[in-house]
Amino acid sequence: MMLPWLALILALYVAIVGSLYLAQDGLLFPHGATRRGMLPLPEGTVRHDLVTADGHRLVGHALRRDGSRDIALLFTGNAWNAEDCLIFTAERLPDVNLLAFHYRGYAPSEGTPSEAALVADALLLRAQAQRLIGLDAASEPPRMFAIGYSIGSGVAAQLAGHGLVDGAILITPFDSVEAVARQRYFFAPVGQLLRHPFRSDLALVDKDVPVAVIAAGRDRIVPPARTAALVALLARPVLVATVSQADHVSLYDLPEFDQLLGQALRALQATKPVEAVPVSGR
């Protein structure tokens, strides 16, 4: 017969693990707490809608820069709206065309966010990027780069790993959300519970694609060990930099980050284009 105190401990453990399982979507995708941007979008920004294969409307913005044929696809952090991400990136990267869409389930985009949905939507965005920016379809295809912030690094890594972009900038990236969760929730059977593992390590290991990484030395959201584990797998790291005094949030307020973001893009642009892979999209 189980002792009363042992049964109580077991019941408490099951309750804690169960609450983590139920809370994981809200922790990874807090779309209800993300507000629309309050600042004006850069002059020339154009709003676009896309419709996913399963009928959800995605909303985003394109910013075309005169004289540039390179396109950067932006994938935001999980509590950051796409408009603010576009404004922030545009101020720091003035010479590249930009595309940023609100993740599925992040207003005004429709649907429910998930790892699978975000990656599928990224493929759609990649397929439609040249048209959305307004570049002549009959001319030479533009170079495409993916810039992923935090959870967005997991989306950017998938595009890069499948050869769908000419390089990626990963900001505060992880080897996997699963590894981050295992480190944080060491007492729980994370592998059996996690619905959105975001395996950037599997996407990028031994892949011949240029990748730049910018990390925060005091990051408590993505532990530095998880970023280091990803970097160790990269076949073509073109820039790896850590802002030692920054944490996951303060990183973006430091002039060092602005400089590194520009350096990262220039490092990608200096590399040989990745051999084109056909992509499909509506």
pLDDT in tens, 4-38: 767 777 777 677 767 877 778 888 898 877 777 67
Alpha-carbon distance 60 to 82, whole Å? 7
Contacts of residues 21-28 at CB distance under 8 Å and 24 or more positions apart, as own/partner, are 21/193, 24/193, 24/194, 24/195, 24/196, 25/113, 25/114, 25/195, 25/196, 28/78, 28/113, 28/151, 28/177, 28/196
Q: Are 17 and 193 in contact (CB under 8 A)?
A: yes
List the domains of the chain with CATH numbers: 9-269 (3.40.50.1820)
Q: Is 114 helix (H, G, I), strand (E, B) or coil?
A: coil
**Percent of the chain having pLDDT more than 90?**
74
pLDDT at res. 140? 80
pLDDT for 175 beyond 90: yes
- Provide the 10 A C-beta neighbour count for residue 3: 8
What are the backbone angles phi and psi of residue 264, rounded to the nearest 5°? Answer: -65, -45
Structure tokens at 117: 């949905």
Q: Which pLDDT belongs to residue 3?
A: 64
Q: For 174, which DSSP code?
A: -
CA 46, CA 55: separation in Å to the nearest integer? 22
Residue 276 has pLDDT above 60, yes or no: no
- Average pLDDT of the segment spanning 266-281: 73
Q: What is the mean pLDDT of residues 46-67?
A: 96
Higher-confidence residue of 200 and 276: namely 200
d(CA 234, CA 267): 15
The DSSP output letter for 251 is G
Give me the numbers of helices (H) and strands (E) for the chain, helices first please: 9, 8
pLDDT for 116-145, tens place per residue?
999 999 999 999 999 999 988 767 889 999
In this structure, the number of other CB atoms found within 10 A of the CB of residue 258 comes to 15
Q: Which residues pair with 101 in a beta bridge?
A: 60
Q: Which residues pair with 106 in a beta bridge?
A: none
Edge-first strand order for the sheet with 168-171 is 45-51, 57-63, 97-101, 71-75, 144-149, 168-171, 210-216, 236-243
pLDDT in tens, 179-237: 999 998 888 888 888 999 999 999 999 999 999 999 999 999 999 999 999 999 999 99
